[in-house]
Amino acid sequence: MAGLLQAVSSAAEKAMDLIYPPSLYCICCGNLIDETRTYDLCDHCMAHIRWDASAPLNIDGMRTLRCVQYGIYERTLIFSLKYNGKTWIARDIADICADRLSLAKEEYDVDFDVIVPVPLHRDKERQRGFNQAALIGRYLGKKVNRPCLEHALIRTSDTRPMRGLSPEERKENVRGKFALDCRYADQITGRRVLLFDDFYTTGSTAAACRSALAEAGPAEVCFLAFAAK
């Protein structure tokens, strides 16, 4: 059964490759590129993206990493993935995350056993058709050979959009809105969890997720966001 599922999913990925031939266009600006470009970015975008390899920040006791600082180029990548349905960008973002993590392991001893993406509320996921954090997390898991527990956390009620809210209002908006699916508890107990999201501003969502994960007693929760302000 597992073999069959694997075959189906790799067939689906091959189909994706046919629909979206990789490495033809820069994922950020759309310029023609060739297959030698790192992360499918042209030289211009590669030079203008604000890469971030700084030491982990401490957010609510969680070691927190980001790959890029949020700006015009970085926003283009996230918006193209989330709102324009260019789901193949998730693969390149996962490659960026994998490199970021390997650097963080070398320099700051950041390591993890499982990946848990920040969930969307199911209505929003249905509307969008996918959860971008889970999509990136799945590719990342394959790349670094760690399981991605895509459904370990549940967003129990929808939250107001965070835009325009103060840090205090953001905290209140997500407080208690995440729960652990107890079927995943034994995969989290005693393990080092990498919580993953595409973006963070104040870290209030990550903190709310960490509270939910704490129910299962993980050894550590680190947080990786692709982009942050």
- Give min distance, CB of 84 to Zn ion, in A: 16
Report how far apart, in Å, the C-alpha atoms of 95 and of each of 28, 61, 140 are. Answer: 15, 26, 7
- Distances in Å between the Cα of 53 and the Cα atoms of 2, 17, 161, 223 are 37, 30, 29, 14
Quick check: helix, strand or coil at residue 121?
A: coil
Closest approach, Cβ 73 to Zn ion, in A, equals: 8
* Minimum distance of Zn ion from residue 33's CB (angstroms): 7
Cα–Cα distance, 52 to 97 (Å, whole number): 11
Q: Mention every residue, 6+ apart, whose C-beta is less than 8 A from residue 229.
A: 69, 70, 201
State in angstroms the smallest separation of the CB of 78 from Zn ion. 15
Comparison of 10 and 31: residue with beta carbon closer to Zn ion: 31
**Residues making contact with Zn ion (CB under 5 A):** 26, 28-29, 31, 42, 45
**C-beta separation of 116 from 91 below 8 A:** no
Shortest Cβ 72–Zn ion spacing (Å): 12
Quick one: 29 or 98, whose CB is closer to Zn ion? 29
Count, residues in the chain: 229
Whichever of 29 and 179 has its CB closer to Zn ion, that residue is: 29
State which amino acid sits at residue 150: E
Burial of 97-109, coded b for 16+ CB within 10 Å and e otherwise, reads: bbbbbeebeeeee
Query: Least Å distance between CB 45 and Zn ion?
Result: 3
Residue with tokens 């998730």: 90
Report the residue number, 26 or 165, with the smaller CB distance to Zn ion: 26
CB nearer Zn ion, residue 68 or residue 116: 68
